[in-house]
Chains A and B, each alone.
Chain A
């Protein structure tokens, strides 16, 4: 049955697997859709979609695929009988009424229908108010209204479509193909365990307990050891603004992955614009009032911190080599000097680049090459991130 729907979902980017599809078939066999189309819609959704971010995409697929399928709705049997057995003569076409009805929205028509369903007690034909046949009202059968809901016979009262059509979950869409989880998994490789940290001895040490107990001729001696802890400290420096706007969703995926993985001993995130100068900024807005001096960072983060740059490394030659920043005679005089300073200070340092090497514009490729020469550079992809993590762990 409707396997095409599965392929439509997959084509639109929902990762529906065979397991889930088989579950759906099983559920249908067991009648879990309660023989109603609305039930079918909810059944499909809760079995095939696993994130509220995908609800919107699912709704659209559902609408597209099932829009021409007729189905029946819960309308009282008496009403259906009136509609079925009607052989009333054709009513008069009422132009005025047609115009009025045409202005009604789907929601309004449905509200009206609900009202009538509760009010109506007898047959009606050729009218423009009740549910009936051959009439001008916006619902009923064989009617002449330009717009309306058909009730009975090939009843098409598509409540499920309305639910799907509302697209209530539009705001949940992420539209990002990149999986944060993959990033998170890659980041987990960044682990260095050490038993040397200053923690109380709380972990039961099996090997030494056996050793000592045996030494004492079977008298139990329980030994404890310090728990192992991840000692990795991360300093994340992200380029913000300008040419980085193109990669903002990619960078925010990385940012979310980094900040959600709580296994680092310490994590600090600062921002810069194009290149590092005298200050590092605490916000991507690059506000000098909310910043720290780069010198301060260099002296407060010792060399065992691992530094990750994220940036496209594309800037004007002056931004990299121009002498409009810095400390006068001593100390770094330009952006490139600052980068050299960081390179010397931190042995574990990588540069993640969301962009490829530019093929045009000598300016851009110049700065790209200069930075790629200075730092080990990796593309900001899942593979690149993994390779970068391995590089950071080399002692």
Chain B
């Protein structure tokens, strides 16, 4: 069995790598929770890249139904075709289009399936997928066909905890909570993105960034992606590293709310 050890573009903590490997060996879905911007979605990309497998992304929206992931039976198309005497109208199979889950099942090789932001969907959504994720198969009544996974896909599920997930669903998952990276790990992550970054700039930015995060008055705490954007802005404008902690230039990249900006200006010393 291949092992996940983080990738060139993704720095994973030791705990996260353990969780990924446990999920792969036990063939259970891996449920990833964590603050926004801790790289939940990027994890699946990194796993796919490391294991050199295809990544199939199923983005969940508030209107997504479990059925959409399995297959869609295009009745309207078939009706139209029957009107105009199209070829193969008798063949219902032609009008059954597989969804993302179906795609992942029928692929000739093992794939990575990312079910992104599962909590966006309806409350019952996870329950509707229990059987399919457990047995890795589903039945299409229209054609009488059972779609069975050729190879169990590696399933990664992310959640922002907007809604509670049902117990029955949780019981089948391996769970990992991505903590916000500490300074050391953050420095590693930044170096992956900016290999030739000036050490002095890095230490200054890290100091300022964690100082901002620790201010209790800040409502929306900046995340890793904001940190990366900020460094990019600082490099682009050629800001002197000495000014960063004292002046916090380009604050708009880090904080997105007016009230947070004001809070920072009042409490920064």
What residues make up the interface of A, taking CB atoms closer than 8 Å to B? 15, 17, 19-20, 23, 26-27, 30, 32, 39, 42-43, 46-47, 49-52, 55, 168, 179-181, 184-185, 188, 204, 206, 209, 213, 219-220, 222, 260-262
For residue A260, which residues in chain B have a CB less than 8 angstroms away from its CB?
A: 162-163
Q: Which residues of A contact B167 (CB under 8 A)?
A: 15
Q: Are A184 and B123 in contact (CB under 8 A)?
A: yes
Name B9-59 residues within 8 Å CB distance of A: 15, 18-19, 21-22, 25-26, 28, 31, 33
State whether A52 and B33 are in contact (beta carbons under 8 Å apart), knowing that A179-B164, A204-B75, A204-B76 are contacts in the complex: yes
Can you list 18 contacts pairing A with B, beta carbon distance less than 8 Å? A30-B26, A32-B22, A42-B18, A43-B18, A46-B176, A47-B26, A50-B170, A51-B175, A52-B33, A52-B177, A168-B179, A181-B123, A181-B166, A204-B75, A204-B76, A209-B79, A220-B83, A260-B163
Residues in chain A near residue B26, CB distance under 8 A: 23, 26-27, 30, 32, 47
Q: Interface range on chain B: under 10, 10 to 19, 20 to 34, or 35 or more? A: 20 to 34
A49 contacts which of B21, B22, B80, B175 (Cβ < 8 Å)?
B175
Inter-chain pairs besides A42-B19, A50-B31, A52-B177, 19 sampled, C-beta below 8 Å = A26-B26, A42-B18, A46-B18, A50-B170, A51-B33, A51-B170, A168-B179, A179-B164, A180-B164, A181-B164, A181-B165, A181-B166, A185-B123, A188-B123, A204-B76, A219-B83, A220-B80, A222-B76, A222-B79
What's the minimum C-beta distance from A249 to chain B, rounded to whole angstroms? Answer: 16
Q: A55: which B residues are within 8 A, CB to CB?
A: 177
Taking CB atoms, residues of chain A closer than 8 Å to B80 are 220
Contacts of A180 in B (CB 8 A): 164
Q: B174 at interface (Cβ–Cβ under 8 A)? A: yes
Instruction: Flag whether B70 is at the interface (Cβ < 8 A).
Output: no
What residues of chain B lie closer than 8 Å to A17, measured between beta carbons?
Answer: 171
Most buried by A among B31, B33, B170: B170
CA distance A36 to B169 in the complex (A): 29
Residues of chain A lying within 8 A (CB to CB) of residue B166: 181
B193: CB under 8 A from chain A? no
CB proximity of B189 to chain A, nearest CB, Å: 19
Q: Which residue of A lies closest to B15 (CB)?
A: A42
Question: B118 — which chain A residues lie within 8 A by C-beta?
Answer: none
Residue of B nearest to A54 (CB): B175
Answer whether residue B62 sits at the interface, using C-beta atoms and an 8 A cutoff: yes
CB-nearest residue of chain A to B28: A23
Q: Is the beta-carbon distance between A47 and B174 smaller than 8 angstroms?
A: yes
Bound Cα distance A146, B177 (Å): 38
- Which of B25, B164, B174, B179 is packed against the most chain A CB atoms within 10 Å? B164
Closest 6 CB pairs of A and B: A181-B164, A50-B170, A52-B177, A220-B83, A46-B19, A50-B175
B125-150 contacts to A, CB under 8 A, are none
Q: Given A15-B167, A55-B177, A220-B79, A43–B22 Cβ distance below 8 Å?
A: yes
Asked if B173 is at the interface of the complex by the 8 Å CB criterion, the answer is: yes
A184 touches B83 (CB 8 A): no
- Bound-state Cα–Cα, A260 to B165, Å: 13
Q: Is B183 an interface residue (CB 8 A)?
A: no
- B window 169-210: CB within 8 A of A: 170-177, 179
Q: Roughly how many angstroms separate A154 CA and B163 CA in the complex, as a whole number?
A: 47
Distance from A220 Cβ to chain B, minimum over Cβ atoms (Å): 5
Given A52-B33, A55-B177, A184-B163, verify A206-B75 contact (CB < 8 Å): yes
In the assembly, what is the distance between CA of A368 and CA of B26, in Å?
56
Contact assessment for A50 and B173 in the assembled complex, using a CB-CB cutoff below 8 Å? yes
Cβ–Cβ contact B22 & A47, under 8 A: yes
Q: How far does the Cβ of A179 sit from chain B's closest Cβ, in whole Å?
A: 7
Least Cβ–Cβ distance between A44 and chain B, in angstroms: 10
- Pick the contact of A19: B15, B163, B171 (CB < 8 A): B171
With both beta carbons as reference points, the residue of chain B lying nearest to A219 in the complex is identified as B83
Q: Closest A-chain residue to B176, C-beta based?
A: A46
A17 to B33, CA, bound (A): 21
